Amino acid sequence: MQRVSEEFWTEQQKPIMGSAALKVQLTVADVEASASAVGEGAAQSGWSDEQAPLGKKGAEGPPIAVFEPGRLRADGIQRLVSPSLLGTEGWVSQQISGADGVYQTPPVYEVRLDPKRPARAAALTFWFDAAAGEGPALLRVTAFLGQKTILRREYAPEGARFETPEPVNGFDRLRVEFLKSQKPFRRARLARLVLGRCLEFLPRQIASAGRKASADPIGRRLPVGSFAFETLNLPGPGWYDPEGPTGLWPYLESRSPIRVQLGQKLTGSTEGWEWIEGGEYYLTGQPRAEGLTVRFEATDALGLLEKPFYKGVWTGQNQSFYDLALAVLKDSELSRLWPGQTPWRLWPGLKNLGTKAPLPIRPGRECLQLIAHAANCVLFCDRLGRVVIEPAETGPGEHTLPLAQQLEEGSKADKNPALAGVDCPYRVLTPAGEAKQLHKGEYPVNGRTPLHLEYPAAAQVTVEVTGAALAQKQIYAGACDLVLEGSGTALLIVSGRVLEESLVTVSEQGPARPGTGRQEALQNPLITDAQTAKRTARWVKEELCRRTVYTRKTRGHLQLDPLDRLFLDTKNAKGLRVRLLQNQLDFNGGAVSGTLVLKRQEETDELADTKNKLDGEGLF
């Protein structure tokens, strides 16, 4: 649950509460090119970092304070900002401008990109010194492709943020020169640089929006995190007509990041707004323009993890779930989208739990789902956009959802089927006694030729090549990455001891009479010992014995997150303990409505259910 003030909660209890709204920041940047960007600050100060401007996500960090006029306290010694806040929050030059603001030797900041992937930017966006609200009075920007000059312009920024008026396409190096400061005796500062545009949509610009967040307490369904909004689509530098010669359409990529903030108007004495984080999302494709509106659709970070993870290894020993989850996350593109930051939060207890099985070749998000399920944890994305694996909290909640906040239309209660029991098999893996051929094929080789092969999971995998040299190899349990070098046709043979498996099933009896309920069967290839199987079967049984699921239409609760524990009032009872499974918010101008899916945590008859009310594909 998002932390909010007491005034926020009080507002939610009012018969007529204040308006709700949201703000959206869409960064239209060349994500692939930006991932390779390397900053180089010439003669930067010792407490700054030339990489920091490229590693910002969202707003700039703490303000930068260094020794120069206007940055010291009255004693002339102490800095205005505590050194503990400085860190490496941006690039600061050593040079100080003169009394007229001119730099005798212009400070220079350069960005180098992968020459194989030149950048295409709808604009260049700079944040300078937001703490003082200052920037350079005169700035020169030069873009290169190899030795060729693509752009060379001088600009006169008027504040701490500046966006170039024209796109910059096809460059692999950027040179930024600070020619003059807005005030005398100033160092050049650059807190953030985006190879693109940062669009901000305020409440009055958003025609409608929808946000959905869900989680499955026992991990049988992939969590759903999505966001969509519509805004006006008018001709100009920010329009999205795919047939228009100008605008942003050519620069929008499927992974362009979106930051959402949710606001509640407080109708008390101050009549202000309280804003909370609404999540980090990524475009799932180019927008759909229809008439005067355009619709953007986005997913959370888990929605990006579609690439199969194939780097599972067999050691014969236990591998911790923490290490496995970290391997999957580091192999994903999240690290590139969050440069310099950690886009995940893993429960430390994962280090004490593990498996002897290699991770199967599946999309990264499904691998994480298997890990979370085997560790009896929950997988979801938090409001900061991080992927989280941790146990669901237990116990009563702190807040009540009264009848006054619920709408009659669309509200219902369902009772799910009974549970006879839960079967949870565990795998016993043993390498075959003899190695056998896993793969054989002929491949044309011309110079250095990369190959990716997949085969049945095995131990002691070997690769033999004739007709070419094996320049590089990375061998995993069920796949390998090779680089062959030579000319002609190469014969490649992969051999190994196939991992043979046997299954042993552990069962937990449910409360239903034999033959009257459903037997739940789990299938998680990472469960490889009786203790984990027994613990998981009991964990699933306890959840499935909670049969009652409520769907409640409400006035919209911006602060609630999946897995939150609440008290629910119904027509027949008050203060029922429930857990939130899904929160969907729909905005239409200043109005907001919501749909909550909640599961009762205490059942009078203790019968079970097997029907999950969440969206998403099940693995088990």
Q: Is the Cα torsion angle 367, 373, 376, 378 positive or negative in sign?
A: positive
Identity of the residue numbered 167: P
Whether the per-residue pLDDT at 611 is higher than 60: the answer is no
Could you report the per-residue pLDDT of 342-381, keeping only the tens digit for each?
899 999 999 999 999 999 999 999 999 999 999 999 999 9
Task: Quote the pLDDT of residue 620.
Answer: 39
Task: Quote the pLDDT of residue 376.
Answer: 97
Q: Is the Cα torsion angle 289, 295, 301, 306 positive or negative in sign?
A: negative
Contact 171, 81 (CB under 8 A): no
CB-based contacts of 112, cutoff 8 Å, min separation 6: 37, 38, 40, 172, 173
DSSP assignment letter at 44: B
Element at 409 (helix H, strand E): strand 406-415
Cα–Cα distance, 181 to 179 (Å, whole number)? 7
Cα–Cα distance, 266 to 268 (Å, whole number)? 6
DSSP assignment letter at 348: G
Contact 599, 579 (CB under 8 A): yes
Between β-strands 419-431 and 518-521, what pairing exists: parallel, antiparallel or unpaired?
A: parallel
Region of 146 on the Ramachandran plot (φ > 0 left; ψ -120 to 50 alpha; else beta):
left
Residue 612, token pair as written in the block: 């999950």
Average pLDDT, the chain: 87
Task: Quote the pLDDT of residue 289.
Answer: 84
- By three-state DSSP, how is residue 236 classified? coil
How many C-beta atoms lie closer than 10 Å to residue 5's C-beta? 12
Beta strand extents in 233-377 (DSSP E only): 257-265, 273-283, 288-290, 293-299, 308-309, 319-320, 344-346, 354-355, 362-363
Between β-strands 196-201 and 136-145, what pairing exists: parallel, antiparallel or unpaired?
A: unpaired
Element at 443 (helix H, strand E): strand 436-454
Residue 446, token pair as written in the block: 């011309």
CB-based contacts of 305, cutoff 8 Å, min separation 6: 328, 332, 334, 363, 364, 365, 368, 387
- Mean pLDDT on 502-519: 89
Task: Quote the pLDDT of residue 14.
Answer: 84
Tell which wins on pLDDT, 447 or 72. Answer: 447
What is the band of 12 on the pLDDT scale with cuts at 50, 70, 90?
A: confident
- By three-state DSSP, how is residue 325 classified? helix
Contacts 24+ apart (CB under 8 A), 570-573: 570/403, 570/413, 571/403
Task: Quote the pLDDT of residue 78.
Answer: 46
Task: Quote the pLDDT of residue 515.
Answer: 75
Could you report the per-residue pLDDT of 564-610, keeping only the tens digit for each?
999 999 888 899 999 999 999 999 977 899 999 999 998 754 433 33
Q: How many Cα atoms are found within 13 Å in the side-chain-facing hemisphere of 203? A: 17
Cα–Cα distance, 465 to 494 (Å, whole number)? 9
What's the 3-state SS for 533-555? HHHHHHHHHHHHCCCEEEEEEEC
CB-based contacts of 269, cutoff 8 Å, min separation 6: none
% the chain with pLDDT above 90: 61
Identity of the residue numbered 594: G
Whether the per-residue pLDDT at 505 is higher than 70: the answer is yes
CB-based contacts of 24, cutoff 8 Å, min separation 6: 200, 201, 206, 209, 229, 258, 259, 260, 261
Task: Quote the pLDDT of residue 136.
Answer: 96
CA nearest 216: which of 569, 549, 568, 526?
Answer: 549
Contact 534, 425 (CB under 8 A): no
Identity of the residue numbered 79: R
Burial of 46 (0-12, 13-18, 19+ CB in 10 A): exposed
Could you report the per-residue pLDDT of 310-349, keeping only the tens digit for each?
999 999 999 999 999 999 999 998 877 776 678 999 999 9
Residue 45, token pair as written in the block: 């100060």
What is the band of 615 on the pLDDT scale with cuts at 50, 70, 90?
A: very low
Could you report the per-residue pLDDT of 214-234, keeping only the tens digit for each?
999 999 899 989 999 999 887
Question: Tokens 């503990």 — which residue?
Answer: 84
Tell which wins on pLDDT, 403 or 275. Answer: 275
Largest CA distance in the chain: 90
